[in-house]
């Protein structure tokens, strides 16, 4: 099965953990969630402005206290 590669970054512009995602769906949007076992990342932005690089999903960890913290 073919997949779509995405880079994952935090709101601060740092690589997220994990730093890449290979997914079957190409159309991630703010508000979508990505599940990694016990962890869930919330997509808060999408950047796709470099044709030579994979799109970037800006994510935030939904762990207790992560969402709604001061930025």
- pTM: predicted TM-score of the whole model, two decimal places: 0.82
Domain assignment present for residue 37? The answer is yes
Domain assignment present for residue 40? The answer is yes
Sheet with 15-23: strands ordered across = 15-23, 4-9, 56-61, 39-47, 33-36
Domain assignment present for residue 66? The answer is no
How far is 1 from 18, CA to CA, in rounded Å? 21
pLDDT of residue 49: 83
pLDDT digits (tens, 9 = 90+) for 2-48: 589 999 999 999 999 999 999 999 999 999 999 988 899 999 999 98
Chain position carrying tokens 């991630």: 28
Domain assignment present for residue 71? The answer is no
Domain assignment present for residue 27? The answer is yes
How far is 43 from 58, CA to CA, in rounded Å? 6
Do 9 and 20 contact (CB within 8 A), yes or no? no
Domain assignment present for residue 28? The answer is yes
pLDDT of 64 higher than 60 = no
How far is 60 from 62, CA to CA, in rounded Å? 6
Full domain range(s) for residue 38: 4-61
Domain assignment present for residue 69? The answer is no
Number of domains comprising the chain: 1
pLDDT of residue 51: 81
């Amino acid at each position: 099965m073919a997949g779509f590669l995405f880079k994952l970054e935090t709101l601060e512009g740092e690589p997220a953990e994990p730093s890449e995602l290979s997914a079957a769906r190409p159309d991630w949007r703010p508000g979508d969630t990505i599940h990694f076992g016990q962890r869930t990342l919330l997509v808060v932005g999408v950047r796709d402005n470099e044709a030579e690089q994979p799109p970037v999903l800006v994510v935030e960890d939904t762990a207790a206290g992560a969402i709604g913290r001061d930025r």
